[in-house]
Structure 1
């Protein structure tokens, strides 16, 4: 059973349609919207600020999500794919984004809708990623605008993870 605990009297609010893996940890002022999925070894710690995760968003294995004390919460929109071992700290990820495996997105960053942060990228504090952009590297830099095919793929990725989480729930795994 997942570890879901209050912090200072604030309980996480998780829609009943969300898949939460048995070894995920969700603490404090966290809200997760319908049809989202929180996979294995994920830690979501809303202790000194709040975390909001939208609908149909998937947070994949080994990801850590935290906040900055009072200055920045973490807000993740709808239909977002967060890859394996990502670090999201006190940032905003708008709708239909993909954050690649092992990427780090730091304090005050805003990732605009329909954008991709490449695997292994480090988005340094305060960067603003314009919508429909690909950013990569350490530190991350603008690479190019997304193609129509990539934009369509971002929508498909979110849909696929709703199917995956439904199959896990049907198997009694959540």
Structure 2
């Protein structure tokens, strides 16, 4: 990929002194040709080797063709993801100790964390099981719990081991569900620890919960269309620019080094000014 801010392309100068003078007066954002690309050895390349799907031991995530996983999300280990599921930016699904299952048309929003345990205090299944039409809002944490279909988990909520959230329930943002606690169907709960607030209205049960998930699924479709496919066209660009350098059409200037020298000059000037006082 592009190594931004490391080096720039300039026309060759007649002398090294003139080259240094030219560099010291460069404004990086106005520099000709913008950031340069240099061909590097594979072990030296500064690539983002982030992979959304990771195998752990002998377990590999299982997803559907219409599953969207953001480029910087992590889905690792024994994870089953069903139809039309979206995992947004920075979310982590780590199934190293047990299974994670996410039902169809569910969404895991930004920075949410879902993981499992080897065992839970109740003796129930320590896997994390999430049903259909579930919305897990940003920064929530779910561990070895069970979420039935048509549920909204409010932002920054924590659901502990062995807890169960029954279908058509809503947790307000910032809720904490203690271990082995059960949230009954058709109710709104919130607080730390989570407590009953009120019964859900028919509108909330029939439309709000489903529409919340569908809204984010529609957004995921647009985000998916904006992603660039993986490819190697950038290698041809790097080779072409390397050829220009080899033919003396351009000269490399290490912008990072020049920035460091400029900082030393500024520090020396400040010290001289201080001593003069």
Shorter-normalised TM range? over 0.9
Match of 2:177 in 1: 123
Paired residue for 1:157, among 208, 212, 216? 212
Paired residue for 2:223, among 147, 150, 168? 168
Paired residue for 1:92, among 131, 135, 146? 146
**CA distance, structure 1, for counterparts of residue 214 and residue 139 of structure 2:** 21
User: When you count strand as a share of all residues, which structure comes out higher?
Assistant: 1
**CA distance, structure 2, for counterparts of residue 132 and residue 29 of structure 1:** 31
Matches for 1:23-172 after TM superposition, within 5 Å: 23-71=72-120, 72-151=126-205, 152-172=207-227
**CA distance, structure 1, for counterparts of residue 212 and residue 51 of structure 2:** 25
- SS of residue paired to 1:11: coil
Residue range with higher mean Cα deviation, 142-151 or 24-33: 142-151
Alpha-carbon offset, residue 44 of structure 1: 0.5
Q: Is contact 1:80–1:98 with CA below 8 Å preserved after alignment?
A: yes
TM-score by length of 2: 0.61
- SS of residue paired to 2:224: helix
Q: Is contact 1:106–1:124 with CA below 8 Å preserved after alignment?
A: yes
Q: Is contact 1:132–1:146 with CA below 8 Å preserved after alignment?
A: yes
Return structure 1 stretches of 4+ with deviation > 2 angstroms.
none
Q: Which structure has the larger Rg?
A: 2
Residue range with higher mean Cα deviation, 93-102 or 71-80: 71-80
- SS of residue paired to 1:161: helix
- SS of residue paired to 2:65: coil
Paired residue for 1:19, among 53, 57, 68? 68
- SS of residue paired to 1:14: coil
Give 5+ residue unaligned stretches, structure 1.
Answer: none
Give 5+ residue unaligned stretches, structure 2.
Answer: 1-49, 121-125, 230-277
Paired residues, number: 174
Q: Is contact 1:21–1:173 with CA below 8 Å preserved after alignment?
A: no
Q: Is contact 1:2–1:20 with CA below 8 Å preserved after alignment?
A: no
**CA distance, structure 1, for counterparts of residue 119 and residue 100 of structure 2:** 12
Alpha-carbon offset, residue 161 of structure 1: 1.8
Alpha-carbon offset, residue 142 of structure 1: 1.1
Spell out, residue by residue over 1:85-121, the C-alpha distance to the aligned partner (whole angstroms, 9 max, x if none): 0000110111110000000001011100010011001
User: When you count helix as a share of all residues, which structure comes out higher?
Assistant: 2
Q: Is contact 2:52–2:70 with CA below 8 Å preserved after alignment?
A: no
